[in-house]
Structure 1
Amino acid sequence: MSIMFPMKGQIVFLLLLEFVWSATVTYTIPASAPTTATALDPAPLGISFEFFAFPSYFLNVTGTNQCLKNLKELTGTWPPIRIGGTTQDRATYDASSSAYVTYSVASPLDAPASLTFGPKFMDLASTYLGTVVMGLNRGHDDIANTIAAAKVASDKMSNLLAIELGNEPEYYTSDKQPIALNAGTWTPATDAESQDDWDIRVGSALHRNLIIQAGNSNDSPPKWGAVELIATENSTAKSYVHDYAHHNYPGGTLTTLMSHSNIVSNLAIFEPEVAAVSDEGKEYVLGETNSVSGGGAATVSPLFGAAVWTMDYMLRAAVLGIKRVYYHHGTVGKCFYCFWGRYSMGAPYYGAYAATAAMAGGSSIVSLDEGSTNYGGYIVSDRDGTPMRVLLLNSDFYGGGGSRGSQTFVLSGLTGGKSSAKRLSAPSANSRVDQGGNPSFGGQMFANGTCEVRGEEVWEMVDVVDGNGTFVVGASEALLVYLK
Structure 2
Amino acid sequence: MVPLRVLWLSFVHSVFAFTVAIPCSPADNAPVISPSLVSLSIEQDRWPEWAGTASRNRYFLNTLENLRDITGAPPYIRIGANSEDKTNFNPNVEYAEDIFPLPTVIVPYPEATNITVGATYYHLAHHLPEGTHVIWGVNLGQNNLTAAVLEAQAIIGAFNSSSCKVQLDFIEIGNEADLYANNGDRAKNYSSSQYVQEWTTFATNISETVKLNEIETKFLLGAFAGSSYKPTGFSPQAIYAEGVLNSTAGSLVTAFSEHHYSGSFCAGQGGLLQDLMTKSTIRGNLTIYAGDVNATHAQNLDYILGETNSFACHGAPGVSNTAGAALWALDYLLFATQIGISQVFFHNGIGFKYNLIQPVTLHRSILDGSPMSPLAPHVQPAYYAAIIAAELRGDEDTVQITEIAVNNTRIAGYAAFEDGELARALFINSEAFLRGDTNRSSIHLDLDFSDDSDAPSSMTIKRLNIGYADDVSDLTWGNQTYGTDDGKVDGTLAVGSAPVVDGVDISATEVVLLEFC
Structure 2 counterpart SS, 1:431: coil
| Structure 2, unaligned runs of 5 or more | 1-11, 104-108, 160-165, 264-270, 361-375
Matched, 1:335 2:352: yes
The CA deviation at 1:20 is: 7.0
Q: Is the 8 A contact 2:52 2:124 kept in 1?
A: no
Structure 1 counterpart SS, 2:149: helix
The CA deviation at 1:475 is: 0.7
The CA deviation at 1:171 is: 2.0
1: CA distance, partners of 2:96 / 2:499: 57
Q: Is the 8 A contact 1:80 1:132 kept in 2?
A: yes
2: CA distance, partners of 1:230 / 1:21: 53
1:156-235 matches, within 5 Å, as: 156-157=158-159, 159-177=167-185, 180-181=186-187, 185-209=189-213, 211-222=218-229, 223-233=233-243, 234-235=245-246
Distance 1:35 1:426, change over 3 A: same
Q: Which residue, 424, 429, 448 being the options, matches 1:389? A: 424
Q: Deviations over 1:341-366 (max 9, x none)?
A: 13242111112211111112352111
Structure 2 counterpart SS, 1:265: helix
Matched, 1:51 2:44: yes
Q: Deviations over 1:25-75 (max 9, x none)?
A: 322222211102111112110011101121111228552111111111100
Q: Which residue, 254, 271, 277 being the options, matches 2:273? A: 254
Partner of 1:64 in structure 2?
60
Partner of 2:286 in structure 1?
267
Q: Is the 8 A contact 2:98 2:114 kept in 1?
A: yes
Distance 1:144 1:20, change over 3 A: farther
1:110-125 matches, within 5 Å, as: 110-125=110-125
Matched, 1:409 2:445: yes
Higher mean Cα deviation, 139-148 or 365-374? 365-374
2: CA distance, partners of 1:407 / 1:221: 40
Partner of 2:317 in structure 1?
298
| Letter aligned with residue 310 of structure 2 | S
Please identify which structure carries the higher strand content: 2
Partner of 2:252 in structure 1?
240
Q: Which residue, 391, 403, 406 being the options, matches 1:357? A: 391
Q: Deviations over 1:329-348 (max 9, x none)?
A: 11x2x311111213242111
1: CA distance, partners of 2:304 / 2:400: 17
Q: Is the 8 A contact 1:426 1:439 kept in 2?
A: yes
| Letter aligned with residue 102 of structure 1 | E
Structure 2 counterpart SS, 1:263: helix
| Letter aligned with residue 188 of structure 1 | S
Q: Is the 8 A contact 1:83 1:133 kept in 2?
A: yes
Q: Deviations over 1:365-395 (max 9, x none)?
A: 111117872211111111x200111111111
Q: Is the 8 A contact 2:406 2:413 kept in 1?
A: no
Matched, 1:79 2:96: no
| Letter aligned with residue 181 of structure 2 | T
Q: Deviations over 1:452-483 (max 9, x none)?
A: 11111111112223xxx411111111111112
Structure 2 counterpart SS, 1:55: helix
Distance 1:353 1:198, change over 3 A: same
Distance 1:454 1:351, change over 3 A: same
The CA deviation at 1:298 is: 0.8
| Letter aligned with residue 337 of structure 1 | Y
Structure 2 counterpart SS, 1:103: strand
Partner of 2:380 in structure 1?
346
The CA deviation at 1:104 is: 3.0
Alignment identity in percent? 25
Distance 1:425 1:225, change over 3 A: farther
Matched, 1:105 2:117: no
Partner of 2:23 in structure 1?
30
2: CA distance, partners of 1:20 / 1:357: 33
1: CA distance, partners of 2:51 / 2:30: 36
| Letter aligned with residue 43 of structure 1 | S
| Letter aligned with residue 175 of structure 1 | N
User: TM-score scaled by structure 1?
Assistant: 0.88
Q: Is the 8 A contact 2:179 2:225 kept in 1?
A: no
The CA deviation at 1:122 is: 1.2
| Letter aligned with residue 171 of structure 2 | I
The CA deviation at 1:173 is: 2.6
The CA deviation at 1:416 is: 4.3
